[in-house]
Each structure stands twice: as structure tokens, then as C-alpha cells.
A and B are shown apart, each in its own frame.
Chain A
Amino acid sequence: MISTRRVPKSLLAPALLAAAFSLVPIWYLVDSAIGSGLKFAVDEIFQTSTLRLVIRSLVLTACVTIAASVIGTIAGWVLVLSGIRPRSLLVVLLSLSLAIPSYLSAFSWISWFPWMSGFWGAFIVLTLVSYPFVMLPVVASMRSADPMQEEVARSLGRSDIGIFFAISIGQARTAITSGSLLVALYVLSDFGAVAAMRYEAFTWVIYGAYRAGFNPARAAVLSLVLVAIALIVTFSESKVRGRSGAQRIGSGVSRLRVVKPKKRSQIFAWIFSAVIVSGGVGLPLVSVIAWMFRDSQTKVDFSSVVTAIVSSFQIGTFTAIATVLIALPIAIAAARYSGLLVRSIERATFVSHALPGIVIAISMVFFGLRAVQGWYQELPLLVLAQTVIFIPLAVASMRSSIERSTAGVEEVARSLGANPLATAIRVTMPIAMSGVLAAVALTLLSSVKELPATLLLRPTGTETLATSIWKYSTVSDYAAVAPFGAALILLSAVPVAMMTATMNVARAD
């Protein structure tokens, strides 16, 4: 139940501030883009090279989106409908590629197949990294769909394959669409894979314009074009999610799905899973292990690995705390209240969801140069940039846990004699706690993996896990990458495995 009453000022003020905060990058981008005159900006946009860039990015985005949707949907079928065993292990294995940072995956492909550099490499890597965005919602929707529909279709004479196309795809349609838009957004904003593959997509060119050419105005203009495209994708995604199709008409408890495994579909499911898992997870893992035993031009001493882990965690911890503090008022307001103001606050975080990390990083450079000059290449500016990047993630995670309790509980607490402060301490906080902890963990680990903002804004002399991998990979010194890569994979695999495992448990009861 959502209350229609007005948001209390004590909540509204921090929520508004947080929303305004996540719009700071846009402001500085616009400011820098037209800083060299409006004519310059317009000329930049209508250059042939810009048009080519848009086309290259869109072609890559479209190809990856289509491929990832097909793979994600088939993976959903494998996990829910094929009757494959052991399923929970396969859920974890097929989700694990989420844990591999795209740049690490890309470098591991390049290290074996240097000729893949360019479009095909970027296409393969991004597809393998992003198909879980389609697979996970498809699995959820196929599980909640009524198995009766399949039985009815069978009784009307459809075959297995006929049922998959006529019923299962239809049931998962909303999940596929919204998942594929997430993939599109991911591809548009990914920096690591396209940079490693040297495919001239937006993010890499923006980085180049900023770093190599030091042409900040061009970087800002291109960023705005990219943001415009990403915003279109984001809003389509929220639209699609809003009108999720009726999975089931009428209420009533449906029976559990009993799948009779068929030999042919089993074989297909196994081959499919083997190929996808070895490409998405196997190859990077094998690479990292193989690199360990290669000779290195650079002597890696393990104290530098420890130092990198420590600074990654230091940045991650600051980011996680800042992000959760800023996101909490938005999450509470969004979960508990409705109305134009609350929706606008939420929309503001959507906007920052559409901002690629590289764009936020560059806008923070401008912010640093204009507003807080002492902060450039200091820790606070990097934490600030990562905070803006991860606010939507933290809001989503906390919001869903707050929504699980009805809005009435706070009012009941008041009517039982608890004043607003006591209500917050005794009721709202404990209920939100699991979501807050999850958001802290999620933000921390995402921060450790994050590349573009860290690369641009890290304090001088600091190397994190991500930047170390980047540094050695770009000079093909893979033996030096290995220990950093292994540490990063281990750190990010744990939460993904935990998340998908709980997803399985949640279904069992």
C-alpha cells in the first residue's frame, strides 16, 4: 500500500538533495559542451566522424542486444523447462559471467586470439557478459507462469518446439524485452570491452578525446549525444517494465511444474550450457590461471597486489557508505509515497542510470576543475563520481526490501506511542536493514570492478585491482595481470553466486 499523504519534510529535503546531486554531471556536461560556443557544439554533432561513431555504436549495440536476447532466452528455457539436472549448479554457472568484468574477459580473449580485436571481439565478449540480464528475468517469469498453459497447448496438439515458440516465449515476452533493453544500455555504457578490443564506440572515443587529444569540449559534446541515446533506452525500459503482461489470469494456486526430461532436449541443453559457460566464464578463468605460469617482463611482487586490494577496498568502502546514505531517502520516499514530486525524484536517478561511467567521470573532471579545484585526482572526487554511478543500483536494492513491508507499519507504531524518531529506529530501520546491507555489499563490489571513473580520477600514484589489470593488459603483459585478475574474479564471484543461490532457495518454499 502506498500512502497518498504528503512526504514529510525531514525525508523530502535529503531526497531532493540526493536527486539534485545525481543531476550534477548533466549540468557540467552541458556547461562544458557549450563552453566553447554553441556553434562549436553543433558543428561537432554534425560532423561525419560523429555520425560514423553513432552508427558504429548502434550497430554494436543492436547486434549484441539481439544475440544476448536469443542466448538469454534459450538459457532461461534450459534452466526452467528443459528438466536439466543439477539445475541450481547450472543457474550459478550461467550467471557467473556477470561477475567477470568486461575488460578482463576481453583481454583474456585477445591474449589467445589477437586477431579478434575490433568489432567481432567486442561483439562476442559483450554478448557473453550481458546475456544474464535477459536470462535472469526470463527465468523468473517462466517460473511464475502457469504450467497449465503448456498442458493446454499440448492437449491442442502442439509439439515441444511449438510450445516453446507459442507459449513460453509469449509468457516471457515482457522479461525478454526489458532484459534486452538493459543489455542495450550496458553495451552503450561499457568502456572496458570496447577499449580492450579497440573498437571505436562512443565510450572509447570519448576517453580518447579526453585523454590523448585533450579535447574536453569534444568529449563533453560526444558524451551528451551518448546520454541522449542512453536516455531513450532507459525510458523505453521503464515503460516496458511498467506494463508487464498478465502472466496468469484468475487467481488460485497452480501446481508445481513437473518436467519430464527428454533425451534430445537434454543433450541440446548440455551442449548449449557448455559452450556458453566455457566462453563466458571458462576462458577468462583458464586465462588467468595460464597467465600465472608465464614469464613476465615485469616482476610482480605480491605486496603490490595487496596494496591494490587495499586501495580498491578503501575506495569501495567510502563509495558504498556515501552511496547508501544518499540513496536511502530516495528509496524510502519511492517505496512509501506517491505523487509527482516523488516520481520526479525517482526519475532523476533513472537519468543517472543512463549515464555511462566514462561520462560521469568526465563530467566530474569538469566539476573538479570548476567547483572544487583541490579535488582533481584526489580521493573525494573519485568517490563522488562512483557514488553518482551507483546510486540507482543502491536505490533499487533498498527500495525492494522496504516495499516488502506494508506502509501501515509506521503509522501503527505511531499510534502505539512511538514518536517519529523512535518509529524510525524501532521500525523503519530494522525493516530496511537487510536491503541496506545488500546495497552496501553490492556497491562495494561494483566499485572494486569499476574501471573508467577509477582510471580517470584515481589519486596520483594509487593503483587499484581494476587499474592494475588495465595497466598490464594494455601492454600485453598478461603474466603480470594474473594475480590481480584472480583476486578480482574471486571477489566478485562470491556475491553473484550467493545472489543466484538465494534466488533458487526463495523459489523452493
Chain B
Amino acid sequence: MDTALSIEHVSHWYGSRQVLFDVNLSVPRGSITTVIGPSGQGKTTLLRIVSGFETPRVGVVRIGSRTLTENGKILVPSERRGVSVVPQEGALFPHLSVGGNVAFGLSQRRSAKSKKRVEEVLALVGLSGMQKMRPHELSGGMQQRVALARALAPQPDLILLDEPFASLDTNLRESVRDETIRTLRSAGATVLWVTHDQEEALANSDQIAVLFDGRIRQIASPVDLYSKPVDKKIAEFVGEIVMLRGEVGDQRGVVKCVLGNLAVNSTSDVSGDAFVVIRPEHIQIVGDSHAESVVGEVVSTKFFGHDAVVHVKLSTAEIATVRVRADNIPELGNKVRIAVRGDVQVFKR
């Protein structure tokens, strides 16, 4: 697959404060690449650099074979980059109708061809025939879909999504997001998407880049990111974890902790004192006969409907979180026997 966007060695400062540190990222054509990370750590800045509203002091940004910016110089201004933006609140033009908004980026806006294109993309986002409506007459979700149609209309090389669902209600967010992803997929668009919601990213991306403190910590597929995070902080950020103290002895590939001797994920080369990181769904409540199991006391339970989470206090006073089926929740204060299945991650302590 060829590369639609490549960001090479980009560093950026606001005044004297450095906000991006040597960022490298390439987005394959036709893929959805997500940048996740806590708020205020450089995600939006990265998007603004790609769209041309910030110029990085160091580094290169390319789209296809065109160099957009290089070491502090803008070579291609925003309006000639072919990069459409869908911002957080939609930012529809309040003085234009829905049709006028969608046609904004088309050349010869009054031509029959443009009219047809507007119809096409409005149909794509499920708003056929709404050309005459005004933005303020639309619900938040509809406004967001118009913003998407507007971004798609000129067939850009790249679409940037800047937390476009963050301002929507929880219920609405899910349906608008799913529709958006479906639309983008069927249009074959290349997407760079910024979000702080890791679940959203895991469910919908081809590739995820994790940005902490202005640095890219890991770039991986959703599955790899979840099962093989490169450090403890990422493990914690992309889902729930149980963290225990352990020790990797002479025998490589095995870590010793309160839950027994556990097999370590093959990529690790940690030795000595370590943190053992386990996903709650990899810990099970087992019968007495199970080998490599330990007993703990149920200290709290949380019911979620489809499943539940049980907190078990172990002999070292460490707490293990166990995900169980909703029809199988043990009583508070009971002793249960738990065991780990599969590999675990270890990180240096």
C-alpha cells in the first residue's frame, strides 16, 4: 500500500515550550489512522501542522510526492493541500445553506456537475434533499454529517477528523461515529483522526499512534496495541489492567508474582524486578483442582449488565480485577480461586 501522508522528524514549539518531539508517522492510502493520547499533549497541533495552520520549525510533511512543509518553510499553503478538515463542533458556515456549505470546496459551484456532486455526498451521509436547510435548523448530529459531506465533496487526498464526535451526546455519538466510519470507508478516503477516546480508536482504526507528552510512543494495529503495549502507561491508557509486582529470574520468559509463575509475552527482555500487567479478561475464577491458581477474597463487585467486574484481594494485599459473566458474580467476602490464562506483559520496575 502506498503512503498518502508522511510526517518525518517533526518538532514544534509554542514560544519556548516544545510541544512535539521528533514525530514520525505515515498514513497508508485508503486507511484510517488514529492518533490517541490524553487531551492537551499535541494531538490537535499535529493535525494543524498537516492542514497548514501551524508550521513546524523542524521536520518534513509530505502528501504523496508533494512536500508541504520543510523545516519551518511552508511550501504549499492550506488551500492547495487537498486536505479537508472536520473540526470538533462541525464549524458549518452559518450564513450558507446546507447545499452552500457542501459546495464550498468545489470549483464552479453553480455548475450542474457541482449540483450532482452535492447530491451525491449528501446521499452518502444520509441527508438527501436537505440542500435548502440552514445549519441552525439541524440537530448536532446532522450538522456533523453535513461537515463530513462538505469535507468529502472535493475528493481530498486526506481527511482530518479533530475529535468530531466529542461534543455529541453519548447515544448520538455512537451512531454518528459508526455512520461516519462507514461513509469514509465506502468513499475510500484516507483519514487521520484524532481522539482521546481509546475505545473509539480501537474499534474503528487500521492503525493507531499513541501520542504522550508530544512524543509518539507506539504505532500499531488495534490488536497489537491492546495485547502488546510497549510500556505501562500505554497499557493503562488503552484499557483496564491489573498491575502486580513480580520478578523475572534466570529463567527467561517466566515471571514470578503473587498469581504464580506466569509465561511472559515473547517480545519482552526485562529481567529482575518487574511490573506484571494483565488484562482483567485474562484472569478467571477457577475450580479447586486448577493448577497455578491462588485464593483471594472478594472485596467489591461492579455489575455492568452484559458482564461484571470483581475485585479480589490477594495474599500480598494487591488487588486483582477479574471480568466475569453477569450470571456468575460471587458474593462479597467470599474466597475465590483465580488463575491467569495466556501470556502476560512485564515492564521494568
Contact = CB atoms under 8 A, between A and B. Distances in A.
Interface of A: 1, 4-5, 404-406, 408-409, 411-419, 422, 426-427, 430-431, 433
B85 interface: yes
A408 B54 CA distance: 14
A427 B79 CA distance: 14
A1 B160 CA distance: 18
Given A1-B89, A415-B81, 6 more contacts: A409-B92, A411-B91, A415-B79, A416-B79, A417-B154, A418-B105
A414 B94 contact: no
Nearest to A1: B89
A430 B81 CA distance: 25
Interface in B92-121: 92-95, 104-105, 107
B285 interface: no
A416 B82 CA distance: 7
B277 to A, nearest CB: 37
Contact of A413 (B54, B94, B104): B104
Given A404-B94, A405-B94, A430-B95, A412 B79 contact: no
Contacts of A4: 14
11 contacts: A4-B14, A405-B91, A411-B91, A412-B87, A414-B51, A415-B51, A415-B52, A415-B81, A418-B105, A419-B79, A431-B94
A416 B147 CA distance: 11
B53 A408 contact: no
B78 interface: yes
Contacts of B225: none
- Which of A411, A427, A430: most chain B Cβ within 10 A? A411
Contact of A417 (B79, B87, B91, B92): B79
Contact of B93 (A1, A413, A417, A433): A413
Contacts of A431: 93-95
B87 A414 contact: no
A416 B104 contact: yes
Most chain A C-beta atoms within 10 Å of own C-beta, residue among B14, B83, B84, B93: B93
B313 interface: no
A416 B150 contact: yes
B91 to A, nearest CB: 3
Contacts of A417: 79-80, 105, 107, 154
B78 A411 contact: yes
A272 B81 CA distance: 65
B102 to A, nearest CB: 10
Contacts of B84: 415-416
Contacts of B80: 417
B53 A416 contact: no
Interface string B141-181: 00000010011001000001000000000000000000000
A243 to B, nearest CB: 25
Given A5-B53, A5-B54, A414 B91 contact: no
Contact of B78 (A408, A409, A414, A433): A414
B150 A408 contact: no
Contact of A409 (B51, B83, B91, B107): B91
Nearest to A413: B104
A508 to B, nearest CB: 15
B87 A411 contact: yes
A419 B87 CA distance: 19
B51 A411 contact: yes
A422 B77 CA distance: 14
Nearest to B14: A4
Nearest to B78: A414
A291 B150 CA distance: 63
B153 to A, nearest CB: 8
Contacts of A408: 85, 87-89, 91
A431 B136 CA distance: 14
Across chains A and B, which 6 residue pairs bring their CB atoms closest together, nearest first? A416-B105, A408-B91, A414-B78, A408-B87, A430-B95, A415-B85
A417 B78 CA distance: 7
Contacts of B94: 404-405, 409, 431
Q: Which residue, A1, A404, A417, A427, has most C-beta atoms of chain B within 10 A?
A: A417
A424 to B, nearest CB: 13
Given A408-B88, A431-B95, A414 B79 contact: yes
Contacts of A422: 79
A433 B154 CA distance: 28
A243 B54 CA distance: 33
A406 B167 CA distance: 13
Nearest to B96: A430
Contacts of A405: 91, 93-94
Nearest to B158: A415
A409 B79 contact: no
A411 B160 CA distance: 12
B155 to A, nearest CB: 12
A426 B79 CA distance: 14
Contacts of A430: 95
Nearest to B94: A405
Nearest to A3: B53
Contacts of A427: 93, 95
Of B80, B87, B89, B151, chain A has the most CB atoms within 10 Å of the CB of B87
A279 B222 CA distance: 74
Contacts of B150: 412, 416
A271 B89 CA distance: 49
A406 B91 contact: yes
B241 to A, nearest CB: 33
B83 A406 contact: no
Nearest to B81: A415
Contacts of B160: 415
Contacts of A415: 51-52, 78-79, 81, 83-85, 160
Given A1-B89, A417-B105, A427-B93, A411 B53 contact: yes
A33 B104 CA distance: 57
Interface string B59-81: 00000000000000000011111
A412 B154 CA distance: 13
Contacts of A411: 51, 53, 78, 85, 87, 91
